[in-house]
Amino acid sequence: MTTLTGRASLRRHRGGISRGEAGSGWLFTAPTLILLGLFLVVPIIMALWVAFSDWTGNGSPFTSAVHFVGLSNFSSVLSGGGLDEQNFGQALRNNAWYVILVVPIQTIVALFLAVMVNRQILKGRGIFRTAFYFPSVTSSVAITVLWLFLFSQSGAINNVLGWFGINGPNWFNEPSGIIQDGLAGLGIKQGPAFLTDHTFLSVSWWDWIGGPSVAMTALIFMAIFTTSGTFMLLFIAALQNMSGEVQEAAMVDGANGWQRFRFVTLPQLRPTLFTVLTLGLIGGWQIFDQIYTGTQGGPANTTTSPAYLAYSTAFGNGQEWGQGAAIGFIVFAIIVVFTILQRIILRERKVSKRRMRLYNLPPSAREGSSSDEDDDGPGMSAAIGIATASQVNRSGGTV
Amino acid sequence: MQRRNRWLGAGALAVIGAVALSACGSGFSSSSGGSSGGKLTSSKKPISVLIGSSGPAETAAVTSAVADWSKTSGTSAKVIAASDLNQQLSQGFASGKPADIFYLGNTSLAGYAAAGDLLSYGSKLPNKDDFYPSLTKAFTYNNQLYCAPKDFSTLQLVINNSLWQKAGLTAADYPTSWDQLESDAKKATTGKVVGLSMNGQYERIGAFMVEAGGNLMNATSTKATADSAANVTALTYVKKLLNEGVMKYAKDVGESDGGQAIGAGKAAMTVEGNWVTGELKSDFPSVKYTVVPLPAGPSGKGTLVYTNCWGIAKDSPNQAAALKLVEQLTSEKDQLAFSQAFGVLPSIQSAAADWKKANPTLVPFLDGAAYAQGTPASKNSAAVVTDFDSKLETLATSDPKTILAAVQKNLQATLK
Q: What is the pLDDT of residues A266-292, one digit of tens each?
A: 988 988 998 899 999 999 998 998 899
User: Residue A359's pLDDT is what?
Assistant: 64
Q: What is the mean pLDDT of chain B?
A: 87
User: Residue B42's pLDDT is what?
Assistant: 85
pLDDT band at A27 (very low <50, low <70, confident <90, very high): very high
Same domain? For B221 and B264 the reply is yes
> What does each C-alpha distance from A291 to A95, A143, B165 come to in angstroms?
11, 12, 42
Residue B108, pLDDT > 60, answer yes
Same domain? For B289 and B385 the reply is yes
The CATH code of the domain that includes B105 is 3.40.190.10
Q: Which residues of B touch A300 (CB under 8 A)?
A: 389-391, 393
Rg (CA), chain B: 24
Same domain? For B193 and B119 the reply is no
pLDDT band at A355 (very low <50, low <70, confident <90, very high): low
Mutation site, A151, A157, A158, A317, interface B, largest B CB count within 10 A: A317
Hey, is the C-beta of A70 within 8 angstroms of any chain B C-beta?
A: no
Sequence-separated contacts (24+) of B59-66 with Cβ below 8 Å: B60/B341, B61/B337, B61/B338, B61/B341, B61/B342, B62/B329, B62/B338, B65/B328, B65/B329, B65/B334, B65/B337, B65/B338, B66/B325, B66/B329
pLDDT band at A123 (very low <50, low <70, confident <90, very high): confident
Residue A339, pLDDT > 80, answer yes
Q: Which of A22, A83, A175 is closest, CB to CB, to B393? A: A175
User: Residue A393's pLDDT is what?
Assistant: 38
Looking at residues B96-111, what average pLDDT do you find? 90
d(CA A350, CA A363): 19
Tell me the DSSP string of B292-308. Answer: EPPPBBTTB--EEEEEE
Q: Which residues of B touch A324 (CB under 8 A)?
A: none
A175 CA: distance to closest CA in chain B (Å) = 8
Q: What is the pLDDT of residues B300-309, one digit of tens each?
A: 999 999 999 9
Q: What is the pLDDT of residues B7-57, one digit of tens each?
A: 444 444 444 444 444 444 434 433 333 444 567 888 888 999 999 888 888
Q: Which residues of A touch B380 (CB under 8 A)?
A: 83, 317-318, 320
The predicted complex's ipTM stands at: 0.76
Hey, is the C-beta of A317 within 8 angstroms of any chain B C-beta?
A: yes
Same domain? For B277 and B220 the reply is yes
Looking at residues B162-170, what average pLDDT do you find? 93
Residue (of B348, B351, B377) closest to B108 by Cα position: B377
Q: Which residues of B touch A34 (CB under 8 A)?
A: 16
User: Residue A255's pLDDT is what?
Assistant: 87
Same domain? For B236 and B170 the reply is yes
Q: What is the pLDDT of residues B182-200, one digit of tens each?
A: 999 999 999 889 999 999 9
Q: Are B69 and B77 in contact (CB under 8 A)?
A: yes
Residue A317, pLDDT > 80, answer no
Hey, is the C-beta of A83 within 8 angstroms of any chain B C-beta?
A: yes
Residue of B nearest to A40 (CA): B17
Tell me the DSSP string of B59-125. Answer: HHHHHHHHHHHHHHH---EEEEE-SSHHHHHHHHHHHT---SEEEEEHHHHHHHHHTT-B---GGG-
Residue A36, pLDDT > 90, answer yes
Residues linked to residue B290 through DSSP beta bridges, in sequence order: B159
User: Residue A17's pLDDT is what?
Assistant: 54
Helix (H) or strand (E) holding A281: helix A270-284
| Burial of B353 per CB tally in 10 Å (0-12, 13-18, 19+) | exposed
Tell me the pTM: 0.79
Least confident window among A99-113, A174-188, B287-301, B337-351:
A174-188
Residue A398, pLDDT > 80, answer no
Same domain? For B275 and B172 the reply is yes
Are A315 and B5 a contacting pair at CB < 8 A? no
Number of Cβ pairs closer than 8 Å across A and B? 127
> What does each C-alpha distance from B114 to A168, B141, B378 come to in angstroms?
46, 9, 10
Looking at residues A297-325, what average pLDDT do you find? 88
Same domain? For B167 and B195 the reply is yes
Hey, is the C-beta of A56 within 8 angstroms of any chain B C-beta?
A: yes
Hey, is the C-beta of A229 within 8 angstroms of any chain B C-beta?
A: no
User: Residue B364's pLDDT is what?
Assistant: 94
- State how many domains chain B has: 2
Q: Which residues of A touch B112 (CB under 8 A)?
A: 319
Same domain? For B164 and B254 the reply is yes
Are B96 and A175 a contacting pair at CB < 8 A? no
Residue of B nearest to A298 (CA): B390
Q: What is the pLDDT of residues B405-416, one digit of tens each?
A: 989 988 988 887
Q: What is the pLDDT of residues B239-295, one digit of tens each?
A: 999 999 999 999 888 888 899 999 999 999 999 998 898 889 888 999 999 999 999
Domain boundaries, chain A: 76-347, 348-399
Q: What is the pLDDT of residues B322-358, one digit of tens each?
A: 999 999 999 999 999 998 888 889 999 999 999 999 9
The CA angle B70-B74-B76, to the nearest 5 degrees, is 55
Q: Are A55 and A321 in contact (CB under 8 A)?
A: yes
Q: Which residues of B touch A299 (CB under 8 A)?
A: 251, 390, 393
- Tell me, yes or no, whether B12 lies in a domain: no
A234 CA: distance to closest CA in chain B (Å) = 35
Q: What is the pLDDT of residues A343-354, one digit of tens each?
A: 888 887 776 777
User: Residue B203's pLDDT is what?
Assistant: 93
Q: Which of B94, B114, B254 is closest, CB to CB, to A153? A: B254
Q: Which residues of A touch B382 (CB under 8 A)?
A: 316-318
Residue A84, pLDDT > 70, answer yes
Residue of A nearest to B413 (CA): A82
- B163 φ, ψ to 5°? -70, -35
Same domain? For B140 and B268 the reply is no
Cβ neighbours for A81, distance < 8 A, ≥ 6 positions apart: A202
Are B393 and A37 a contacting pair at CB < 8 A? no
Hey, is the C-beta of A26 within 8 angstroms of any chain B C-beta?
A: yes
- Tell me, yes or no, whether B14 lies in a domain: no
Q: Are B389 and B200 in contact (CB under 8 A)?
A: yes
- Tell me, yes or no, whether B38 lies in a domain: no
User: Residue B155's pLDDT is what?
Assistant: 95
A56 CA: distance to closest CA in chain B (Å) = 5
Same domain? For B239 and B282 the reply is yes
- A123 φ, ψ to 5°? -85, 150
Hey, is the C-beta of A118 within 8 angstroms of any chain B C-beta?
A: no
What share of chain B in percent tops pLDDT 70?
A: 91
User: Residue A331's pLDDT is what?
Assistant: 92
Same domain? For B166 and B126 the reply is no
Q: What is the pLDDT of residues B14-25, one digit of tens each?
A: 444 444 444 444
- Tell me, yes or no, whether B33 lies in a domain: no
Cβ density class A309-327: b for 16+ within 10 Å, e for less = bbbbbbbbbbbbbbbbbbb
Q: Which of B17, B25, B111 is closest, CB to CB, to A318? A: B111
Q: Which of B28, B391, B413 is closest, CB to CB, to A82? A: B413
Q: Are B45 and B315 in contact (CB under 8 A)?
A: no
Are B410 and A41 a contacting pair at CB < 8 A? no
Same domain? For B79 and B142 the reply is yes
Hey, is the C-beta of A154 within 8 angstroms of any chain B C-beta?
A: yes
Q: Which residues of A touch B410 (CB under 8 A)?
A: 82-83
Q: Which residues of A touch B379 (CB under 8 A)?
A: 317-319
- A87 φ, ψ to 5°? -65, -40
Cβ neighbours for B331, distance < 8 A, ≥ 6 positions apart: none
Distance of CA B383 to the CA centre of its chain: 15
At A52, which amino acid appears?
F
Superfamily name with CATH number, domain A76-347? MetI-like (1.10.3720.10)
- Tell me, yes or no, whether B204 lies in a domain: yes
Structural domain containing residue B119: 47-152+307-367
| Rounded (10°) CA dihedral A330, A332, A335, A341 | -80
